[in-house]
Amino acid sequence: MMGNYWLFYLLALAAEIVGTVSGFGSSILFIPIASMFFDFKVVLGITAIFHIFSNVSKIYLFKNGIDKRIAIKMGVPAVIAVIIGALITNFLPQKKLELIMSGAVCCVAIYLLFNTNKKLNDTNSNLINGGLASGFLAGLVGTGGAIRGLTLTAFGLEKNVFIATSALIDLGVDSSRAIVYAINGYVQKEFLLMLPFLLAISFIGTWLGKTVLKHVPQNWFKTIVLV
């Protein structure tokens, strides 16, 4: 399995490093990468499991930086929304999901490109709305990290706190959607052999990302997240 997908694993490692440094997580890169190798509904299942490993790695490596108040206020609505989004995927054809995913990624990218200086207010309503939006997109098309990252920047979190808090929120999101995807049949037995490699990639990529992040000043990190 490793020999058959060595390019996929290398690209997944690169996505994990970039995702850690950027604060968004790797999904916005990992989803398009995995879509080149697997059917989209299989990609949803693989992504959820990979990100569970990734989030556990981030929580372990950045464990002293979690803001529990923000994690709960954003995480609870995100979990509710991701379950709804994941359930909807069972009623949509694969091609339509792929189109929705492509459109969602493009819209988020365009928004971030033209709104790099825009900052949300640090309010509870923005936490809830950001959780709902990011969770629903994560369940429906596999990626909602950009919206979560944009929301968290409003609270001026130090970079280690930002990443650890985002990872804790995302762990709840990914664990919830992984269960729904498994029930829907997206987690197929033949791909279980990939799990040890994905576990290793998630930890190594997060560790390398943290190593790079040590040399990134706080003001640069905020700029990277917004860009």
Task: Enumerate the domain spans of the chain.
Answer: 6-226
Of all residues in the chain, what percent carry a pLDDT higher than 70?
83
Mean pLDDT of 6-19: 91
Q: What is the pLDDT of residue 94?
A: 65
Q: Say what the pLDDT of residue 147 is.
A: 82
- Confidence class of residue 96 from pLDDT cuts 50, 70 and 90? confident
Q: For the chain, where are the alpha helices, taking DSSP H only?
A: 6-22, 27-35, 40-61, 68-88, 94-114, 124-141, 145-152, 159-184, 195-213, 218-226
CA 5, chain centre distance (Å): 22
Specify the amino acid at residue 142. G
How many other C-beta atoms lie within 10 A of the C-beta of residue 53?
21
Residue range 91-120: mean pLDDT, rounded: 67
Measuring CA to CA, which residue among 64, 76, 82, 83 is closest to residue 165?
64
220: pLDDT confidence band, cut at 50, 70 and 90? low
The tokens for 160 are 């280690």
8 Å CB contact between 198 and 12:
yes
pLDDT over 80 at 107, yes or no: no
Residue with tokens 């970039």: 18
The confidence score (pLDDT) of residue 143 equals: 80
Alpha-carbon gap, residue 135 to 84, rounded angstroms:
9
Q: What is the structure's pLDDT at 49?
A: 92
Retrieve residue 178's tokens. 């992984």
Task: Please classify residue 166 by burial: count the beta carbons closer than 10 Å to its beta carbon, then call 0-12 exposed, 13-18 middle and 19+ buried.
Answer: buried
Q: How far apart (Å, rounded) are the C-alpha atoms in residues 200 and 174?
A: 18
What is the residue type of 96?
A: K
Residue 218 pLDDT? 62
Confidence band, pLDDT 50/70/90 cuts, at residue 224: low
